[in-house]
Amino acid sequence: MTYDAVIIGAGHNGLAAAVDLAAKGWKVVVVEARAEAGGAVKTQELTLPGFRHDWGAMNLSMFAGSAFHARYKDELAAHGLGFVPAPHCFASVFRDGGYLGVGTDVEQTVAGIQAISEHDAQAWRKMLEHFGEHAPHIFGILGSPMPSWAALKVVWRAWRKLGTAGLYGLLRLMLSSPRDFLAANFEHNHVRTLMATWGLHVDFAPDAAGGALFPYLESMSNQAFGMVIGQGGADTIIKSMVDLLRAKGGELILNAPVQSIITGGGAATGVQLADGRVLSARRAVIANVNPKNVFGALLPNGAAPQAFESKVQAFRPGLGTMMIHLALKELPQWLAGEELRKYAYVHVAPDMAMMSRVYAEAAEGLLPAEPVLVVGQPTALDPSRAPQGQHVLWIQVRVLPAVIKGDSLGTIGATHWDEAGEAYAERVLDVLERYAPGVRQNILAQKVFSPLDLERENPNLIGGDSVSGSHHLDQNFIFRPVAGYSRYRTPIKSLYLCGASTWPGAGTGAGSGFMLANLLTE
């Protein structure tokens, strides 16, 4: 049982590394503790038979646009990969009963904005035009190891194309808070709110430095390219990657928790499974695992230099997430308009003030009074996920404390998620009812995952952190996860990290796994 590479964790980054290495002739095995591959990307019948719910990730646009998909697109499709386009991508509802939405029809998006602000309608068009100029350089940075000559070449090309002022503009975007960036471009709070909500997907409150980039990229990318979800479920990417891995001679071992990483002579030489089996690695052990679960857990304390281990232990999780999955008789009846039933995502985050308040409350350990909701409506696009005429609803609650110290409203007395989870889910449904009255009476069944439940299901989601480590500036770019080790290596020879805790961070883009595989085979 000797391989060129042993990969711990069958999430999409681990599978991307495995597929690419196997394609280049490496003998590869992926070991996964759970009974199925996928990590946070899986689709299951969580409520009732025939209702297929995306357990974690739902939006697969990053995967569809990834360098990994570009290289293996035809082979993945031959192994069953399928996407469903979302012409109506995302929308936000507001307290005044209105909404704004973004889809692939630019004129429709602009018309909605124009109804509240002529200035902002023109500003949106201008931003979209500039996005076409800026996108290749931004995505070039996100798709390059950090640091690397490739990243420097991207910066050089950006300077040649955009000039010094343009390059400074990109740098300013990457460092700005959502509030500052949006206030500099738009005058109406609804437009600012529409974009700012994306920041909370990756742990950025409106006033957090560095938080403007993701709202900009998501808003403009959805407008320019649209959104896609998985045909039949997000697990379409996992199933096709597993099948492709096996077709290339790679192996996947499920129900195989790793007990320890084996080292010798200062290098990683393999892993020992919980059942006693030893898998040896000639070239690399790759941990698609949160680094806090590698050092001090899979490796004993002191296996790496103390300075490195201390920095790993200081790597901060983002704030927690709750997932609520509903089986419904019909889609929500949104007060703001019937058109909202067409959107893949509806954000229930009506203003930036409440987003700031939610983040501050959760950071203090308090259950937020008015949670931010990302409401996914996958069966509006893909009816195959539920029995005919019925639907699933995907509700992500952002952001929540990992450890409860109290309740902002003072009505939930429990301070452990096992006791507070269902009560807080009722608060979430109360909020949803304000914007979509009658949704409760359409519920056939529901399944709630508190932040603690998410970590139990996937230990990489520490404290229910769905992004596997805050993306604040001190933990991003060359600092992810530890300064000096952002190129996936560790102080232990032949031991590498990948996954959302490493550059370029969270999402379904398979970036870290694919870039690591390329670095190993250069």
Under the banding of pLDDT at 50, 70 and 90, the label for residue 135 is very high
The mean per-residue pLDDT over the stretch 300-308 comes to: 95
User: What pLDDT was estimated at residue 29?
Assistant: 98
CA-wise closest residue to 497 among 3, 2, 17, 4:
17
> Residue 448 forms beta bridges with which residues?
324
Common-topology check for domains 2-41+60-82+233-314+470-520 and 316-457: no
The mean per-residue pLDDT over the stretch 305-322 comes to: 97
User: What pLDDT was estimated at residue 108?
Assistant: 98
Under the banding of pLDDT at 50, 70 and 90, the label for residue 229 is very high
User: What pLDDT was estimated at residue 425?
Assistant: 98
* For the chain, domain boundaries: 2-41+60-82+233-314+470-520, 110-225, 316-457
Angle at 23 (CA atoms; ends 17, 28), nearest 5 degrees: 55
Write out pLDDT tens, residues 419-466. 999 999 999 999 999 999 999 999 999 999 999 999 999 999 999 999
CA distance 424 to 412: 8
The mean per-residue pLDDT over the stretch 89-105 comes to: 98
User: What pLDDT was estimated at residue 255?
Assistant: 98
The residue type at 393: L
The mean per-residue pLDDT over the stretch 297-318 comes to: 96
The residue type at 505: G
Write out pLDDT tens, residues 11-24. 999 999 999 999 99
Instruction: Report the 10 Å Cβ neighbour count for 108.
Output: 14
State which H helix or E strand residue 267 sits in: strand 267-273
User: What pLDDT was estimated at residue 416?
Assistant: 98
Question: In sequence order, what are the residues at sequence separation of 6 or more whose Cβ sits closer than 8 angstroms to the Cβ of residue 95?
Answer: 350, 351
Instruction: Report the 10 Å Cβ neighbour count for 184.
Output: 11
Question: In sequence order, what are the residues at sequence separation of 6 or more whose Cβ sits closer than 8 angstroms to the Cβ of residue 19?
Answer: 68, 72, 241, 244, 245, 248, 250
State which H helix or E strand residue 118 sits in: helix 118-142
What class does CATH assign to 316-457? alpha beta
The mean per-residue pLDDT over the stretch 310-337 comes to: 98
CA distance 105 to 125: 12
Taking CA atoms, 11 is separated from 15, 206, 280, 403, 489, in Å, by 6, 30, 21, 26, 19
The mean per-residue pLDDT over the stretch 194-209 comes to: 98
Under the banding of pLDDT at 50, 70 and 90, the label for residue 225 is very high
Under the banding of pLDDT at 50, 70 and 90, the label for residue 322 is very high
- Mean pLDDT over the full length of the chain: 98
CATH number, span 2-41+60-82+233-314+470-520: 3.50.50.60
The mean per-residue pLDDT over the stretch 133-146 comes to: 97
